[in-house]
Amino acid sequence: MPVSAHRRPDRAIDPLFVNRWSPRAYSGEEIPDAVLELGFEAARWAPSARNAQPWRFVYSKRHSSSWESFAGLLNARNRQWAGNASALVAVLSRTTHDDGTPILTHSFDTGAAWANFAHQVVLAGWHTRAIGGFDHAAARTVLGVPEDHAVEILIAIGRQAAAETLPDEFRTLETPNGRRPLSAFVSEGAFGTP
């Protein structure tokens, strides 16, 4: 079923924004480097405070020598589906400028980069699902993340597969979800009561 059967925006936005959704069912097929590079290139053009570009990405392709150590970071629930992704990407962010002052918006800016990545990947015919459920401390060690970088998320990336390929508990969840209306999170002049 097309995404448009589940998601109807209230205003005439570009379809890209609703077409980006996060399946869990992936084919596990090999991902071309060019697809990953497209995503990273889109991330590169995200805005950031003082143009510090604090994002860092460390990836592992399925069947590569680093795959088991990446997949081993996932919590038990996420391991059930993310093991079929074609790549896992660790998203990190630098927490200090060259002069040692803190980059107060490192996570915010890196979130913008992740969004660019996710949307570009959809345009290339692939999908992503962000993962916060993993061992952040182990990721720091396994990936050799320096002290002045924060571990943000993992991204699973793959070609969408049929929901039937998922374990039972995820099968019924494999549908694009909805969103709150603008009135629930936008107000003019002061913080409004939704």
Q: What would the two tokens of residue 84 be?
A: 């079929």
Residue 7 or 97: the one with the smaller Cβ distance to ligand FMN is: 7
Minimum distance from residue 156 beta carbon to ligand FMN (Å): 8
Q: What is the DSSP letter of 86?
A: S
Number of neighbours of residue 40 by Cβ within 10 angstroms? 17
Nearer to ligand FMN, 177 or 193 (CB): 177
Task: Rank residues 28 and 176 by Cβ distance to ligand FMN and give the closer one.
Answer: 176
Which residue, 127 or 192, is less far from ligand FMN as judged by CB? 127
Residue 142 to residue 151: CA distance in whole angstroms? 12
Query: Which amino acid, 146?
Result: P
- Give pairs for 146-152: CB < 8 Å, separation 24+: 148/94, 148/95, 148/96, 149/56, 149/92, 149/93, 149/94, 149/95, 150/92, 150/93, 150/95, 150/106, 150/107, 151/90, 151/92, 152/91, 152/92, 152/93, 152/107, 152/110, 152/111, 152/114
Q: How far is the CB of 101 from ligand FMN (least distance, A)?
A: 26
Q: How far is the CB of 173 from ligand FMN (least distance, A)?
A: 8
Q: Give the span between the Cα atoms of 142 and 135, in whole angstroms.
A: 10
Residue that has been written with the tokens 């603008």 in this structure: 182
The binding site for ligand FMN (CB under 6 A) comprises: 21-22, 78, 129-133, 153, 176-177
**Which residue's C-beta sits nearest to ligand FMN?**
133
Q: Give 59 or 117: the residue with its C-beta nearer to ligand FMN.
A: 117
Q: C-beta of 21: minimal distance to ligand FMN in Å?
A: 4
Nearest approach, Cβ of 190 to ligand FMN (angstroms)? 28
Question: Whole-number minimum distance, CB 120 to ligand FMN, in Å?
Answer: 15
Angle between helix 106-123 and helix 33-44 axes, rounded to 10 deg: 140
Nearest residue (CB) to ligand FMN, 118 versus 143: 118
